[in-house]
Amino acid sequence: MKKFEVLFLTEAREFLLEMDEKSRNKVIFNIDKAKITNDNNLFKKLKGEIWEFRTLYNNTHCRLFAFWDKEEKRETLVLTTHGIIKKTGKTPEKDIEKAKQIRLKYFEQKNR
């Protein structure tokens, strides 16, 4: 049973469209798998309210940053903000900050 829905915001969608088809399919497959399992290798909390979908495919580490919108009681929604191809072991702080800013903007617009 699915635990949440995923909505791709503009930058996340553009990031996926820039990938080759096999890589994109693997990322989508892992996101779909994360919806039904609790696996830190696929979906992991980073800092504060920011999470990441994680995919390793062809020695490439792909990350899609995300946050939860749990305000609606009837269903849980995870919104992806943007993605990166990770070059080092540590997640860049600037990408966590970017995800936080997108999250703040989302809730500001939603609550108007």
Domain CATH code at residue 63: 3.30.2310.20
Q: Model pTM?
A: 0.92
- Rounded to an integer, the average pLDDT of 62-88 is 87
Single out the residue of 16, 13, 41 nearest to residue 27, CA to CA.
Answer: 16
Number of domains comprising the chain: 1
Res 74 pLDDT > 70: no
Range of 76's domain? Answer: 5-110
**Amino acid letter, 9:** L
**What's the mean pLDDT in 66-71?**
88
DSSP 53-106: EEEEETTEEEEEEEEEE--SSS--EEEEEEEEEE-SSSPPHHHHHHHHHHHHHH
